[in-house]
A and B are shown apart, each in its own frame.
Chain A
Amino acid sequence: MEFETVIGLEVHVELNTDTKIFCGCKTSFGNPPNTHVCPVCTGQPGSLPVLNERAVNMAVKAALALHCQINQDCKFDRKNYFYPDLPKGYQISQYDQPIGEHGYLEIDHNGERKRIGIARLHLEEDAGKSQHAADGSHTLVDYNRTGVPLMEIVSEPDIRTPEEARLYLEGIREIMQYCDVSDCRMEEGSLRCDANISLRPVGQQEFGQKTELKNINSFRFVQRGLEYEEQRQREVLAAGGTVRQETRRFDELSQTTLSMRSKEEAHDYRYFPEPDLVRLHIDDAWLAQIRATVPELPMEKRDRYIRQYQLPAYDAGVLTSDLAIGEYFEATVAAGAEPKAASNWVMGDLLGYLNGRGEVLADSRVTPGQLADLIAMIAEGTLSIKQAKDVFKIMCETGRDAKTVVQEEGMEQISDMAALVPLVDEVLAKNSKSVQDFLSGKEKALGALIGQVMKATKGQANPGVVNQILRDRLSALRVEE
C-alpha cells in the first residue's frame, strides 16, 4: 500500500528584545544563573506583569512577514500547570485570540514553489531552565530565561516530506532573521521545534495516528528525525500494525527516534483570560507603523535577483539566504560591478575566505566598493583573474583597496606595447626552435612562447597583448621566409 506522509511543525522563536516580555530584566544569554531576575519574573507574591511593547512590535512584524491576519484586538490568557521552572504556576500565553492567524510560508522544492499554511502565531513568555542532579537527589532552577518573549508558530499539516519540513524551518529562520526579530540559534534554544508526523494511505482524507517528535536541536536533525520516523511508521503499518500515539525524541547517537512517553494523561491547562493585563489593542496607525518596517522577504528577493540581475536560481538562493549577504551583493553591484561577476566573487572567494576562518560577513575587511573596484580592474584588463584572486586575498587580510595592493605588491598587469615588444623579441631570439615549430605549422608552439614571456614578466604581462604581439612578429617572419 502506498502511504502519504503528513507533517506539522510547532516552532518556538525567542524574540531578541533587550528586556523580558513582562518586566525590565535583560534577556541576554549565557549569564550566571539567576542574575537577570526580579520580583516579576520570579513570581514573587503581589508582583504584576507589564507588557513589553517591543515584543508586540516584533511579533506583529513576524506575523505580517508570514502573511498572517493580525488580530488587532486580542488578549492574553493564563495556561495553568505546575513545574518548578514556571514561577507563577501559570504561563502567560495567548489561547483563543492569537496575535496572528491564517498565514503561510513558501518553500522552493524540486523547482516548484509550495505554500505551507501557518495556522497561528502567538506571543507568550518563556520558562526557566531546570538542571537535574545526576544522582536524582535535587534539581536546580535558573530563572534567567523566565519571561523571555517567545512566539509560537504553528503550521497547518501541509508538509508532506521530511525535506519540506527542513525547508520550512529554514524558511522560518530566514524570515525571522530578515525581520531582525530573532537570531534563531537552535543550539542556544532561541529556535525550538516540535514535529507531528503521521502516515495515511494515499487518497485517504482523515489523518493517521500521529507521533510527536521532540528534542530536535538542529536543522539537519529535523529532516533526519522525520525520515527515520516516517520509515518506522511505514514499517509498522506495512506489517499490519498500528502506530501508537506517543512522544518520541531524536537520538543523535543512534540517529533514530526513541519513545519518551506514551500519550500523556490529558492535561487540562484551565486557560482563562489573564486578569492582570488589559486587552491588547493594536490600532490602525500602530499596525501601519509596524507594517512599514517589514523588509522585502527572502522569497521576493530571490525572484527579484533572477529578474533584475539575470542571476541563475542557485546564485539568487545563496545570495538571499542571509540578509547581510544580499545587502553586500547589491552594494557591490551598486558600486558598478557586473552582477554575475559580483555574485561569483561574493559566493566564491569572499564567503570561502570567511567560512575558512569561521567568520561572518560582518567580519569582512573588504567593502563592497573595494570588491567592485577589483572587478572593474579585471574588466579593464589591469588584472588577470588569477592575479585578482591573489590581490583579493591580500585585501581580505589587510583591508587595503585593490589599487593600493597592486601598486605596493607590484602586481599590475603589463599591457603596454612599448614595454612588451622588446621582451617578445628577446624571447623569439632565444627560442628559435619554438619559432621554427610554429612556422612549420605547430600552433601549440605559440603557447610555449607566451609562457616564456609570462615567465620573463613574472606573470604580469597581459596574455592577450602578448599573444597579439607574438602573432604580429611571427607572421612578419613567415613573410620574410
Chain B
Amino acid sequence: MASVLSISNLTKTYASGLQALKSVSLEIQKGEIFALLGPNGAGKTTLINIVCGIVTPSTGTVTAAGHDIQRDYRAARMKIGLVPQELHVDMFEKVIATVTYSRGLFGKPANPAHIEKVLRDLSLWDKRNDKLMTLSGGMKRRVMIAKALSHEPEILFLDEPTAGVDVELRRDMWTLVRNLREQGVTIILTTHYIDEAEEMADRIGVITRGELILTEDKTTLLQKLGRKQLILQLQEPMNAVPAELAEWRLALRAGGNELEYTFDAKSEQHGISSLLRRMGDLGIGYKDLHTDQSSLEDIFVDLVHDKGGAAR
C-alpha cells in the first residue's frame, strides 16, 4: 500500500517554550484507519493541527497525498478534512448554509446533491434549516463532521470525535468511519477510549510527552499492551532459574545477570510482591529493578482509567 501521509522529524515548540512535539515521524497508508492514543497534553492535537495548517511546525516536513503541506499547501489541504476537538460553529448560521460554505471554502464547486447525502448520512437532513445555536452538542458535532466531509476529502482527521457523545452517536460514528474507509478515505483519529481504537483502528500509534513511542498493528499491539516485564539486576549472576521460582516462569538474561518476569499488566494478581518475598527468602539479592515499557504502561493505565476507572 502507498503512503498517503508522510510525517518526518516533526517538532513543535510553542511560543511559551513548551516543546509539544519531539521529532515525530509517521507514515500513514492509504485507506487505513489510524488511531492515535495518548494522555492529555501528549501532543495529539498539535500533530493534527500542524498537518491541517492551523499550527506552524518548528521543524520537519509533512506531505499529504504527495503534496508538501507548506510549499504546496493548496493541493494538500484540498485533500484533507478536519473535525477539530473543540466545537467551533457559527451559532447564527443554518446547518445547510454552513456546510455549503465549507465546500466552497475548500475550492469545490457547489454540489447540493453531495451536501444532501452528507447531511442525510449524519441524520442532519431534517435539521438543515435550523440555526446551529438551537442544536444540541452532539448535533453540533455532527455538523462539524458534515463540514469536514463537504469537500470529499481523501484524508480525514477526527480529533476525539466521540468525546462527550452518547452511545448512539458513537455507534453512528463508527459506522460512518467504516463506510468512509470503504470509499477509500484514510482516517486518522484520536481517542481516549481504548475499546474504540480496538473496535475501529487498523493501526495504533501511542504518543506521550510529544514523542511517538510506538506505532503498531492493532492486533500485535493489543497482545503487547497486556504484557509487562519486570527486570531485576542480580547482585550475583546465576546459571539457571532456581526451581523454587518456577511458578513465575522467569527468564534469565544478560548472561545470567538479570532475571526477567513477564506478567499481565491488566491482572490485579501479578505476583510481583510474592516473587520478591520468595527471592528474599532464598537470599537472592538484586541491585536494581525496573519495568520495561513502563511509559507504555502509564499510557495504558491512563487510557484504561479513562475508559471507566478499571485497573490502576
Indicate, yes or no, whether A interacts with B: no
